[in-house]
Amino acid sequence: MLEIAGLHSGYGSVPVLDDINLAVGKGEILLVVGENGAGKSTLLRTIGGFIKPYRGSIKLCGEEIGGMKPEDIARSGLRLVLDGHRVFPEISVWDNLRLGAVIRNDKKAFEGAIEEVFAVFPILKQRLRQSARDLSGGQQQMLALGQAFVARPKVLLSDEPSLGLAQALLPPILDFLKRWAASGTAIIIVEQHIDIALSVADSAAVVERGRIKLTCAASELGGRLQQMSQSP
Ligand SMILES: Nc1ncnc2c1ncn2[C@@H]1O[C@H](COP(=O)(O)OP(=O)(O)OP(=O)(O)O)[C@@H](O)[C@H]1O
Ligand SMILES: [Mg+2]
């Protein structure tokens, strides 16, 4: 579904990503981990089109999207959830969800999707008529995820979905992402809570100083990281 080959990018003349090769299939969750400053967010922003790659290829369902504008990439079916501030602050929670929905003309599908969002984030249902601006940072994060969900993207990129949220919310969010992937979406998540995130991921990639140090099945990551820390 998403294939990245020989991708290099950075900020102006300061390179960050160095020869990234990655792939995520339909219905799969790839967990990206790495130290602070390794380049995880830069990777998601580059895929989303917010940073122009220096070179390399990013293919969405076989079509090259590398170098395209973020809005065109979004239109091709890729959605990037960075943090809660991506919601529209001036309008209500309800309008945020409705505007994000590509399925709003299919009343039944839309209502079904909205109910799924409310089941994971009941607070959004209670705040439906309030402006998004009046939500807390964590609640805006929930809204951003809900908005992405009703947009029914082919590929979802989520940068630290649990950031700013109570730890107790992480398992239901990950469970939500798991069910979301099962409906056919390819998902890349960056998450610091590796152990919990691994329980829903299919594969994992370790980023170190802008390079992919390791890719493996999610079930193998623990053992591989241990091996790496023991080798000289
Ligand atoms: N807007 C920017 N302009 C210039 N350099 C940046 C910018 N954003 C990030 N960087 C640099 O790019 C490198 C990778 O940063 P990035 O935010 O991608 O790391 P990360 O893996 O997401 O880290 P964290 O776990 O802290 O979120 C760092 O050296 C950082 O200083
Ligand atoms: Mg980051």
pLDDT, residue 130, reads 95
pLDDT of the residue at 44: 97
Backbone angles phi, psi at 104, to 5 degrees: -65, -20
Q: Rounded CA gap, 82 and 73, in Å?
A: 15
Q: Whose CA is nearest to atom 30 of ligand 1?
A: 37
Report, as an integer, the average pLDDT of 174-186: 93
Q: How far is the CA of 52 from the centre of ligand 1 (A)?
A: 15
Cα-to-centroid distance, 36 and ligand 1 (Å): 8
Is the model more confident about 161 or about 186? 186
Rounded Cα–Cα distance for residues 23 and 197 (Å)? 18
Q: How far is CA 106 from CA 17, 78, 94, 103, 113, in A?
A: 41, 21, 16, 5, 11
* Domain ranges, ordered by start, for the chain: 1-77+153-232, 85-152
Please state, in angstroms and rounded to a whole number, the distance separating the CA atoms of residues 213 and 219. Answer: 17
109: pLDDT confidence band, cut at 50, 70 and 90? confident
Which pLDDT score, from 0 to 100, does residue 103 have? 63
- For the CA of 42, the closest atom of ligand 1 is 18
For domain 1-77+153-232, give the fold.
Answer: Rossmann fold (3.40.50)
Residue identifier of the C-alpha nearest atom 5 of ligand 1? 11
pLDDT one-digit tens code per residue, 56-108: 999 999 999 999 999 999 999 999 998 656 788 899 999 999 887 766 677 88
What whole-number distance in Å separates Cα of residue 85 and Cα of residue 132? 9
Ligand 1, atom 18: nearest CA belongs to which residue? Answer: 39
pLDDT in tens, 155-172: 999 999 888 788 888 888
Residue closest by Cα to atom 17 of ligand 1: 41
pLDDT > 70 fraction of the chain, expressed in percent and rounded: 97
Our answer on whether the CB atom of 42 is closer than 6 Å to any ligand 1 atom is yes
Are the C-beta atoms of residues 154 and 186 closer than 8 Å to each other? yes
What are 117-145's pLDDT values in tens digits? 999 899 999 999 999 999 988 888 889 99
Give distance in angstroms: CA of 51 to centre of ligand 2: 14
Distance (Å) from CA 39 to ligand 1 centroid: 6
Which distant-in-sequence residues (6+ apart) come within 8 Å of 32 by Cβ?
Answer: 40, 43, 44, 188, 189, 190, 204, 205, 207
Give ∠ CA 83-140-85 in degrees, rounded to 5. Answer: 45
**Shortest-distance Cα residue to atom 26 of ligand 1:** 36
**Residue from 181, 182, 148, 144 nearest 77 by CA:** 148
DSSP string, 23-52: EE-TT-EEEEEE-TTSSHHHHHHHHHTSS-
Provide the mean pLDDT of the chain: 91
> Which mutation among 9, 16, 32, 47 tests ligand 1's pocket best, with the greatest number of atoms within 8 A of CB?
16
pLDDT at 170: 86
The residue whose CA has the least distance to atom 6 of ligand 1 is 11
- Residue 45, ligand 1, Cβ within 6 A: no
Least confident among 27-36, 174-183, 199-208, 209-218: 174-183
